[in-house]
Structure 1
């Protein structure tokens, strides 16, 4: 499908008329009409109801909006991807889960900036499902996640072993803070602890929960690499007899990737993780 047809469709929808779309696109109203008619012939349905007041979407037109937006957005992304910035010879597209952007992704980008100056770097921070879907479709080269999917043509390696430990503020251990570290953690937590999950405060972002606990007191489960400095300083302490939960980090990348810079970048990431035993938020 011609991308301009989808773009014209969206402009008519936004402007509410063929005339308004023509003004926005700097083309004649006749051209707008021709494009919409061509699009309707292509999808074999009527997309707009025309009247003197303008144009409004039919039921079929409303359903087509999401597809049209995806077409235009994908095309714009493709154009941006194909054009390298001046002084760059190639591009790497890497991603990490929200809880892993700092320090893992941050340190990786810094390493690439120093050691691969001719490589343009695109980063994507999102949930694991979104990252893995983009990896499968070829929109990303490598991602860092806690729970990978086993996909065809994809290599998965454990980047590091991480644990979630129960800590509290000394002499100020309330309230209970529950940090949702994902489905696997919830399953481990519910199996190990007989009491139901009850907390005055719940979070889906560990760094936020830790800041709240350090400033106002409380207890909860956090990553060992993050809380280790606070345990040494006495700002936090381990909760006696509480179970630990595994929370490993995985590197996932496509084996069919032809980018020559990817193996170098992956080795750099492995070295970064090995050399940094503590994390900060």
Structure 2
């Protein structure tokens, strides 16, 4: 199937109208219509409901999204592999969750640069769901995340045992800050602590909450490696008799997709994860 048809399908889905999709792809609306008609004919299925308000996916269209995304990503990956810069032998695509790029992803990239010659490297930083989608679609070779989803086609290895600890500002221990680290953390928190987690200040990004606490005061659960420096400098202190929660780091990659470059890169990642280095995020 023509990859452009799948790409056009995804663009219409994202834009919401054929007209907006045509502007994004810099083609006429007639071209967009012809491509979608051709795609629907090839699939023998109607993909969009078209009306004055725009284009909405049918149930068949919703099912096709995953396949179209995989097709486009694999095609883009194939083009990138074929067009390797002169002097480079292979390409490696790695990803990291938003809270893991500094310093873990930085150190991983630096290690790869120093130890794996003739390699073209691409790196992504995104949330765990996006990284896992790209991994399963073939757009990534490996990703480091906190919350893997177990799947028969994936290999999941824990590379670091991180903890979430309760800390507070030395100068001003209020207000309570709740950081939504994960579904597992919420469950553990509710089971272990008597106070409700519904606070006036809640966050889904730990670094943001940390900066608020450092500047205005408060208390909450944060990763040990990140708050360690502030505890040592006397800005934060641990809240006595508060429980700890596990927050491990995993590397995820596809089964039966191991290459020499990926194997070397994984060994380098594990060596970096063992180092006692200062974390910033």
Matches within 5 A, 1:1-281: 1-5=1-5, 13-14=18-19, 24=27, 38-44=38-44, 62-63=56-57, 70=69, 73-74=72-73, 75-281=75-281
Residue 263 to residue 48, structure 1, CA distance change in 2 (3 Å): closer
Residue 103 of structure 1 and its aligned partner are, at CA, apart by 1.2
Deviations 1:103-144 (A, max 9, x none): 111111121122224211122222223322332333221111
Residue 263 of structure 1 and its aligned partner are, at CA, apart by 1.2
Over the residues paired in the alignment, what is the CA RMSD in angstroms? 3.5
Alpha-carbon distance in structure 2 between the residues aligned to 1:182 and 1:129 = 12
After TM superposition, the structure 1 stretch with the greater mean CA deviation from structure 2, 3-12 or 109-118, is 3-12
Matched length: 268
Between structure 1 and structure 2, the one with the greater Rg is 1
Residue 70 to residue 174, structure 1, CA distance change in 2 (3 Å): same
> 1:165 touches 1:224 (CA, 8 Å); kept in 2?
yes
Structure 1, unaligned stretches of length 5 or more? 50-55
Alpha-carbon distance in structure 1 between the residues aligned to 2:162 and 2:109 = 21
- Counterpart of 1:53 in structure 2 is none
Alpha-carbon distance in structure 2 between the residues aligned to 1:158 and 1:15 = 44
Alpha-carbon distance in structure 2 between the residues aligned to 1:94 and 1:259 = 13
Residue 162 to residue 38, structure 1, CA distance change in 2 (3 Å): closer
> 1:45 touches 1:60 (CA, 8 Å); kept in 2?
no
Alpha-carbon distance in structure 1 between the residues aligned to 2:48 and 2:200 = 51
Alpha-carbon distance in structure 2 between the residues aligned to 1:275 and 1:188 = 28
SS in 2 for 1:24: coil
SS in 1 for 2:159: strand
Structure 2, unaligned stretches of length 5 or more? none
Alpha-carbon distance in structure 2 between the residues aligned to 1:232 and 1:8 = 54
> 1:46 touches 1:58 (CA, 8 Å); kept in 2?
no
Residue 37 to residue 58, structure 1, CA distance change in 2 (3 Å): farther
What TM-score does the superposition give when structure 2 sets the normalisation length?
A: 0.80
Alpha-carbon distance in structure 1 between the residues aligned to 2:102 and 2:271 = 16
> 2:156 touches 2:253 (CA, 8 Å); kept in 1?
yes
